[in-house]
Amino acid sequence: MTIALFLAVLFAAMTLGVPIAFALMLTALALMVQLDFFDAQLLAMNVQAGFDNFPLLAVPFFVLAGELMNAGGLSRRIIDLARAFVGHVQGGLGYVAIAAALLLASMSGSAIADTAALATLLLPMMRKQNYPDGYSAGLIGAGGIIAPIIPPSLPMVIYGVTTNTSISKLFMAGIVPGVMMATALVLVWRRIAGSNTLPVAEKVGWPERRRVLARSLWALMMPVIIIGGLRFGFFTPTEAAAVAAVYALFVAVFIYRELTPKGLYRVLVDASRTTGVVMFLCGGAMAASYMITLADLPNQLADVMGPLLSNPVLFMAVVCVFLLAVGMVMDLTPTILILAPVLAPLAAKAGLDPVYFGFVFIFTGCLGLLTPPVGTVLNVVAGVGRLRMEPVIKGVLPFLAIYFSMLVLLILFPSIVLGPLKLMF
């Protein structure tokens, strides 16, 4: 009865177009009424507690760092670097997109920010060289979702805070799978480039490569500082976010000198708006999470899924199928805030490592960013490139197929995530 009430209120509110944060508070209110102890003050206190959380300070700083990268020229220099080194092979701009996506992912942690930067700079070049619009947009979207996988990752910060899982370990767990994602995209793009006889650009000489590398060096130091500092314990994920924002501001203003006071004001406003949305979502999720715990929802769900808990692989497969279905109609952040507090305790009962489960949860949720009808990342690519959604969906299918194959491997072989993690820690 409690599970049915929770789902009915949540999906009814979403169907009516109620914002996710308010929908979550409505579910908390409904559970309060069912448990017969309505208390408006308790509801307000939990909403406030949802964003009064030190680790969540990483969110505004990482968001700000991403905005500063795009506005201050760091992202463009990373793309220029990739063009200089791999732009001369057949379909070279596709390889540029993959290399740039991997590098940008290690700096921003936001799929939307990285996708927008890649689409803005690369789609016009691809179109000018007669690349197929659908495949170009699909590749850029598929590369954009590497950002939530490789540290620093905003979804990992939110998941870690929501489920009390080590954010540092989640960050480190994403490095090897993130590189695997880029490698998989290279294999798929190589086949597409060969079958479509894509053009070959002129090769850049080594003197020009050295100049581009020198101009990009300050941007390249950002992931070294963040990942190195986290790995060797110089700072926490929250402190890493602050360091990233200050470093991006310093480089954009004093080194590249592309960020004007007017541009900085616009960056601060955009970062504040994004942060406000995320924090309000966290507040609503905390209220719902508190009532979920009081209503004993995880244990009730465990009774329903009891037969699956004895088989961790089967349990993980069922959860991933469920998350893929949810991802088709819901963005990643609400998915984490709503489902992670319910599913993480079940994963512990099934004997799954919390970091492994958290990573696969986020990876599966990222695939939802590429699946219609919501497909947030697909909408960004289509909007920036002024493309119809149909060719974009068709173009992303080969890349989604290889990602689904990766998901199967992650379910069957947890050592892909846990093996490198054990070596790092």
- Highest mean pLDDT, choosing among 17-26, 304-313, 361-370: 361-370
Reply yes or no on whether the pLDDT at 357 is more than 90: yes
H-only helix segments in 129-260: 133-144, 154-163, 167-173, 175-195, 206-231, 237-250
d(CA 228, CA 42): 41
Reply yes or no on whether the pLDDT at 304 is more than 80: no
Residue 33 confidence (pLDDT):
84
Distances (CA, A) of 46 to 53, 58, 196, 273, 295: 12, 20, 55, 22, 15
**Averaged pLDDT, 148-171:** 91
d(CA 115, CA 128): 19
User: How many Cα atoms are found within 13 Å in the side-chain-facing hemisphere of 217?
Assistant: 7
* SS3 category, 91: coil
**Averaged pLDDT, 158-186:** 93
d(CA 41, CA 25): 13
Tell me what the pLDDT averaged over the chain comes to. Answer: 87
Distances (CA, A) of 263 to 67, 218, 219, 352: 10, 20, 19, 46
Residue 225 confidence (pLDDT):
87
The residues that bridge with 200 in the sheet, in sequence order, are 90
What's the maximum distance between 2 C-alpha atoms anywhere in the chain?
A: 74
Q: What is the Cα 104 distance to its own chain's centre?
A: 12
Reply yes or no on whether the pLDDT at 182 is more than 90: yes
d(CA 155, CA 108): 12
